[in-house]
Amino acid sequence: MRGPDDPPGAPSTVVPSDAELWQDGTDAAFAELFERHVEAVWNHAYRLTGSWNVAEDLTSATFLTAWRRRADVTLVRDSALPWLYTVVGNLARAEYRSSTRFLRAMRRMGAAEPVADHADAVAGRIDDDRRLREVLGRIRRLPKAEREAVELCLIGELSTADAAVLLGVAETSVRARISRARARLRTRTEETS
């Protein structure tokens, strides 16, 4: 199919939607979806964890999950990104729970704290990363409904309409959750300042 501005005989410039690529199911179609969204997924994972290494691992796990579940998933508004953000959010929460359980177990056993990876040590020196982790810690303590809305709309930069469809609630509910979350986060920030 040729686009309206394509000269006669020129190859097609119509870009397939995420839904078309998802339904295609071929390796090439999935590779195109990967290339289209890998940077956004990595950025979202990094914003959720504050760690470059963990973000890379979560990005890989997200696309592995997408590959395995491609036949079972219905995309929101023909975009794979909301679903990918949800997967990376779930994986980030599981990673956080797992790492905190591991550290508690190590402390109970009297083991020394694990030595951080050099890349994490460099990233940890940057004040913005420290601040990001503080904010993420506060976000993790929000009520589930508010936390999900914040992760999807504020961190993941999805529209409130897409988040509403993904969460199965009205768009006004998503806006209200974000508003309540902002108020809680503002209060907690003022208390620690």
pLDDT tens series, the chain, 193 aa: 445 555 566 566 788 888 888 888 888 988 999 999 999 999 888 888 888 888 899 999 999 998 888 778 777 778 888 889 888 988 888 877 776 665 666 666 665 555 555 565 555 556 666 777 788 888 888 899 998 888 888 888 788 888 888 888 998 999 999 889 888 888 877 777 6
Domain 17-126 and domain 141-193 have a common topology: no
Which pLDDT does position 107 carry in this prediction?
Answer: 66
Looking at CATH, the fold of the domain delimited by 17-126 is given as: Rna Polymerase Sigma Factor; Chain: A (1.10.1740)
146: tokens are 């508010």
Which pLDDT does position 101 carry in this prediction?
Answer: 62
Phi, psi of 79 (to 5 degrees): -120, 135
Structure letter (DSSP) for residue 151:
I
Residue 67 three-state SS: helix
112: tokens are 């020394």
> How far lies 71's CA from each of 1, 37, 48, 125, in Å?
26, 18, 27, 43
50: tokens are 């504050």
Query: Which architecture characterizes domain 141-193 according to CATH?
Result: Orthogonal Bundle (1.10)
Q: Compute the distance between CA of residue 46 and CA of residue 73 in angstroms, rounded to an integer.
A: 24
Residue written as token pair 């993790």? 140
Domain boundaries, the chain: 17-126, 141-193
182: tokens are 């902002």
> How far lies 73's CA from each of 25, 76, 82, 152, in Å?
12, 10, 12, 18
- pTM, to two decimals: 0.54
